[in-house]
Amino acid sequence: MIMYNSYSKIEELVSELPPLPSYLKGAEEYYAHIPKHHSDYTNPETLPEHIALVNHYFKTLVATHQLDKVIDQLISGYLQENNIENSKIGEFIKQLFANTIVFHDFGKINENFQANQLKMNNPVFLGREITDSPISTRHSSLGAFIYLSKHLNDIYTQFKLQETPELIVSCFLLSYTIFKHHGRRFDDDYAHTICFSEDLAGREAQELRDFLKRYVDSYQFSVNPKLYQMIANPVIFETPAYKQRINSFSLYALCKLNFSLLTASDYLATNEYMNRLQVKDFGVLDSQRINEIYDYVTQNEWLNEHEGKKNYNLGTFQNIDDYIFLNPKAESSANLNILRKEMAIEVVRNIRKNSHQNLFYIEAPTGGGKTNLSMLAAVELLKSHSGSINKVFYVFPFTTLVTQTYKSIQETLGIKDDEIIELHSKAGFKVNEDDLYGGKKLNYINNLFVNYPFCLLTHIRFFDLLKTNEKGTNYLLHRLANSIVVIDELQSYNPQHWDKVVYFIKQYADKFNIKFILMSATLPKLDKLDILKEQAKGFEYLIPKAKENYFQNPNFCNRVTFNFDLFERKDLTLDELANTIIQESKMYALKDFGAAKPINSVYAIVEFIFKKSASEFYQIIQHTDFFDEIFVLSGTILEHRRKYIINFLKNKANRQKKVLLITTQVVEAGVDIDMDLGFKDRSLIDSDEQLAGRINRNVNKKGCKLFLFNYNKEAIIYGKDKRLEITRNKIGKGQYQEILQTKDFDLLYDLVINDRNEWNTKKMAVGFSEYENKIKALKFQSVHDDFKLIEQNNISSFVPVNIPVEVDGVVDGQKEKIFSKMELDFLSQNHVFPNKYNEISGEKVFDIYLDLIHNRREFIQQKTYEKILQGIMSKYIFSLFASNKIEDQIVHFSDEEKSQFGYKYVQLWDKFYDIETGMKDTDFNSNETQFL
């Protein structure tokens, strides 16, 4: 843990600065913004007004998210890494950090910017334009020049310039955020920007300096003339003293945090002027609200009395102090619940003992209630930190997991609608007011800045926040400070990135005071990575003896037995597989386990690696007469159909039927179903275990099996995944079976991690140390590009079918909404209404999309419409891996004119697509029809 100094608070540093008119000549003459066309107010916003408003939001964001300590820690970390103990230097760097926000628009005094009709159209400056100005109408680089001039002089007068290269480095690098605050991203070659390359454009540097110096005089800053030679001088960046000071994650994170706060503060201030909308609620939990949530979780008898949902966590907290562990071995639903309760008690007790730590593992068997365990850990951490931890992020591998966990988290914690948001492409627009349009501006801001204390998002979106160089994504970085981050199923991604994952987690945990909870049923112990051992110390295992006490308890490890009869067969046909499934299902249908599985019923599932194989299998088995219902669930099944299938399987009224579910690996993503028999095309061991988790979930049946067979070539999907290579080369059939039956996944993961450790020590390998060097060298673009959890490019296909407004729910007579009230209101405002079958036309929805592209609205209205429509359109969209073969074939069914706007518009969808079975891919001459 880095020890850090406490420097002056941002509130003090900003408030102590004199008001702008006291040193800028004619300050009130300069405009910062002018009103929009057709607005109901006419006064331009003066530069002093804007600077004051930006400073207000800057101070508010820092106070709300408690960022002073984070900034101090980053500065101290940077100085420690350079063996500097002078607290005055740290204090000055913090002033530099604060002043980027204060100075960011000082360049708006550029006469050309003020006079330009498309900029400020300020009549005071008409006729005062400078036609050959090297900065034209730009203001960002001028603001950076003024910032650099003032602060280089302050360094010169307060310190010995040659002995404080870290101050010079900090000054130049923090000026980069001023240069870029209207740009889209940070780049690798930041020196190119900081050297004023765009403004030079063939000019001599001295000519530029001489031109810009007079703007510094307007602010009445006294600058030693020789210091100007340091500005727009690339030699500065080549000196050994400068280069040696750029070798720090702390500096990397400090620059990103500064960029986040500057752009967010500027946006909020500009929004307040433009839209007359003051943002006051930034979506954090105070101590009172935390206590209310804690009491709800620990004392409420019901989660939803109307639906008969009891709060089983009540019993956990009633017995927390004096509970004696039973660890029952006899298999029963009651004993399974005892084990779940005992895991919950362990988690709560260990959080209470270790709440000061930042890194936690929850390793719990499939069916053990990991999400509930993580919620208990989260509320305990919130309670123990009394408001100093004030946000919770839930991070999942897939959007389907985000969606299905949303309601569970809301119910379990008693979260209000305006306290939780889903952040992904299918989520649409979060509205907190009945009137879609009355609060549209505030809703837009709250969505953009995720002003909700609970946020659910995907792994890809979350790690983008940590590593991004994009301004729009980096807006949210400051929100991560002093939060809890729960990451589920981290092993879902290729082990080649595990070292990067744990590196970012550890660095941000320490420096941003983030409590990370990593959870999975098959959890790789990332702290075993050699290159990160020093950094990865401190993971607390909240269920320390999970393997012995739970994974290998018969209630978990004996719920499903694994059958390997077909495991090594290379000649298995789909016809033979169909016969096997029918015979096994017939035998199992004869069993009677009461309401859990009545006699003459069976729920069977078969999973394929490729969607094409699933389609071919459906063509075969649909002509048999054993099953009452045969469903297909794949990445090409639209959301309304997916919900219908899952609700059907969960509806107790259907339990007397014989059902077969044909699926691809989308069902592994935590789909909450309970099957009797499983058949799976083997792939990765942990993937096989995930499907086993969909079978006999509540231990209320006997004889449940998962048959592993060998059909498709899994290397087409997992070819670059070390887990597959190591499984093939080092794990035989016997050990494979042992891992699955005993749940000892360390046998696999230790081999994978050892392989990664060996790779990172090879001299010629592009290992983790090279990636870390890019971070420390501030290669912002490369840091982002070189860490991608998913490498594939996708094609998004829009199928213009009619989709029902609602489908059958989990309970007979109840319905589940597919379109929300807000979405239906939006559609009706655009003259799209349900047809006589209560369906919404996809063709008409796409027409709204095209109209939105061709006829743009006022900015916030446009962005709001886009976000709402995104959620509606997602109901008609499926994605597939982009390849030349797929592109060549899908074009025959698409309207190429309509397909120019981001989606393949499948005009001839009836020849290409089936609502019940998805894409008609049996004729495709490619196994590449494996879908997301």
- List the beta strands (DSSP E) in 700-757: 705-709
Torsion of CA 634, 703, 368, 298, to 10 degrees: 110
Helix (H, G, I), strand (E, B), or coil: what is residue 87?
Answer: helix
Q: Are 375 and 360 in contact (CB under 8 A)?
A: no
| Closest C-alpha to 30, from 150, 171, 142, 152 | 142
Query: Tens of pLDDT along 118-174?
Result: 999 999 999 999 999 999 999 999 999 999 999 999 999 999 877 789 999 999 999
Instruction: Supply the pLDDT for residue 746.
Output: 82
Separation CA 614–CA 324 (nearest Å): 48
Separation CA 312–CA 328 (nearest Å): 18
Q: What is the number of alpha carbons within 13 Å of residue 288 lying toward its C-beta?
A: 0
Answer whether residue 761 shows pLDDT above 80.
no
In CATH terms, are 287-552 and 555-742 the same topology? yes
Q: Are 468 and 781 in contact (CB under 8 A)?
A: no
| DSSP character string of 723-736 | HHHHHHHH--HHHH
Separation CA 238–CA 241 (nearest Å): 9
The burial of 617, by beta-carbon neighbours within 10 Å (0-12 exposed, 13-18 middle, 19 or more buried), is given as buried
SS3 letters across 24-44: CCCHHHCEEECCCCCCCCCCC
Instruction: Supply the pLDDT for residue 668.
Output: 55
Instruction: Supply the pLDDT for residue 34.
Output: 93
Separation CA 666–CA 213 (nearest Å): 61
Range 825-843 average pLDDT = 96
Of the candidate ranges 53-62, 132-141, 393-402, 646-655, the one whose mean pLDDT is the lowest? 393-402
Instruction: Supply the pLDDT for residue 435.
Output: 42
Range 436-455 average pLDDT = 79
Residues 6 or more apart whose CB falls under 8 angstroms from that of 424 comprise 399, 402, 457, 458, 461
For residue 448, the surrounding DSSP H or E stretch is helix 440-448
Instruction: Supply the pLDDT for residue 515.
Output: 97
Answer whether residue 495 shows pLDDT above 90.
no
Of the candidate ranges 103-117, 184-198, 223-237, 679-693, the one whose mean pLDDT is the lowest? 679-693
Separation CA 119–CA 113 (nearest Å): 6
Helix (H, G, I), strand (E, B), or coil: what is residue 572?
Answer: coil
- Average pLDDT over all residues of the chain: 89
Query: Tens of pLDDT along 535-591?
Result: 545 789 999 999 999 999 999 999 999 999 999 888 999 999 999 999 999 999 999
Beta bridge partners of 31: 46
Between 929 and 846, whose confidence is greater? 846
Instruction: Supply the pLDDT for residue 924.
Output: 57
Answer whether residue 7 shows pLDDT above 70.
yes
Range 447-461 average pLDDT = 91
Domain ranges of the chain: 36-275, 287-552, 555-742, 794-919
Separation CA 337–CA 550 (nearest Å): 12
For residue 648, the surrounding DSSP H or E stretch is helix 639-650
Most confident of the ranges 55-69, 83-97, 432-446, 779-793: 55-69
Burial string for 411-438 (b: 16+ CB within 10 Å, else e) reads ebbbbeebbbbbbbebbbbbbbeeebee
Side chain identity, residue 300: N
Separation CA 754–CA 757 (nearest Å): 5
Instruction: Supply the pLDDT for residue 788.
Output: 85
What angle is formed at CA 26 by the lines to CA 22 and CA 30, rounded to 5 degrees?
110
Query: Tens of pLDDT along 264-286?
Result: 999 999 999 988 889 999 999 99
pLDDT band per the 50, 70, 90 thresholds, residue 667: low
% of the chain beyond a pLDDT of 70: 91
Of the candidate ranges 208-212, 792-796, 841-845, the one whose mean pLDDT is the lowest? 792-796
Of the candidate ranges 209-218, 353-362, 759-768, 828-837, the one whose mean pLDDT is the lowest? 759-768
CATH 1.10.8 correct for 36-275: no
Torsion of CA 240, 244, 245, 251, to 10 degrees: 140
For residue 455, which phi and psi values (nearest 5 degrees)? Answer: -130, 130
Q: Are 461 and 289 in contact (CB under 8 A)?
A: no
Range 665-692 average pLDDT = 83
Query: Tens of pLDDT along 394-412?
Result: 998 877 788 878 888 999 9
Instruction: Supply the pLDDT for residue 131.
Output: 92
Instruction: Supply the pLDDT for residue 528.
Output: 67
Looking at domain 555-742, which CATH architecture does it have?
Answer: 3-Layer(aba) Sandwich (3.40)
Helix (H, G, I), strand (E, B), or coil: what is residue 212?
Answer: helix
Helix (H, G, I), strand (E, B), or coil: what is residue 552?
Answer: coil
| Closest C-alpha to 800, from 893, 707, 888 | 893
The DSSP secondary-structure symbol of 703 reads S
Beta bridge partners of 742: none
Homologous superfamily assigned to 287-552? P-loop containing nucleotide triphosphate hydrolases (3.40.50.300)
Angle between helices 440-448 and 859-873 in degrees, nearest 10:
70
Burial string for 807-827 (b: 16+ CB within 10 Å, else e) reads bbbbeeeeeeebbbebbbbbb
Q: Are 25 and 214 in contact (CB under 8 A)?
A: no
Helix (H, G, I), strand (E, B), or coil: what is residue 129?
Answer: coil
Instruction: Supply the pLDDT for residue 612.
Output: 86
Range 424-428 average pLDDT = 69
What six digits make up the tokens of 299?
A: 């004392």
Separation CA 838–CA 298 (nearest Å): 42
Separation CA 338–CA 325 (nearest Å): 9
Answer whether residue 931 shows pLDDT above 50.
no
The DSSP secondary-structure symbol of 595 reads G
Instruction: Name the residue with tokens 């206590």.
Output: 291
Q: Are 726 and 498 in contact (CB under 8 A)?
A: no
Q: Are 523 and 491 in contact (CB under 8 A)?
A: yes
Most confident of the ranges 435-439, 733-737, 764-768, 772-776: 772-776
| Closest C-alpha to 904, from 885, 880, 923, 921 | 880
Query: Tens of pLDDT along 512-537?
Result: 999 999 998 776 666 666 655 555 45
For residue 154, the surrounding DSSP H or E stretch is helix 140-158
Answer whether residue 439 shows pLDDT above 70.
no
Answer whether residue 929 shows pLDDT above 50.
no
In 3-state terms, the chain is what percent helix, strand and coil (to 5)?
50, 10, 35
Instruction: Supply the pLDDT for residue 1.
Output: 44
The 10 Å Cβ neighbour count of residue 882 is 14
Range 208-235 average pLDDT = 94
Instruction: Name the residue with tokens 């019901």.
Output: 302
Of the candidate ranges 185-194, 403-412, 419-428, 663-672, the one whose mean pLDDT is the lowest? 663-672
What angle is formed at CA 493 by the lines to CA 489 and CA 494, rounded to 5 degrees?
145
Q: Are 492 and 522 in contact (CB under 8 A)?
A: no
Query: Tens of pLDDT along 595-634?
Result: 999 999 999 999 998 888 999 999 999 999 999 999 999 8
pLDDT band per the 50, 70, 90 thresholds, residue 762: low
Q: Are 607 and 749 in contact (CB under 8 A)?
A: no
Angle between helices 370-385 and 333-353 in degrees, nearest 10:
30
What six digits make up the tokens of 239?
A: 């000196």
Instruction: Supply the pLDDT for residue 212.
Output: 96
Q: Are 574 and 620 in contact (CB under 8 A)?
A: yes
Instruction: Supply the pLDDT for residue 425.
Output: 67
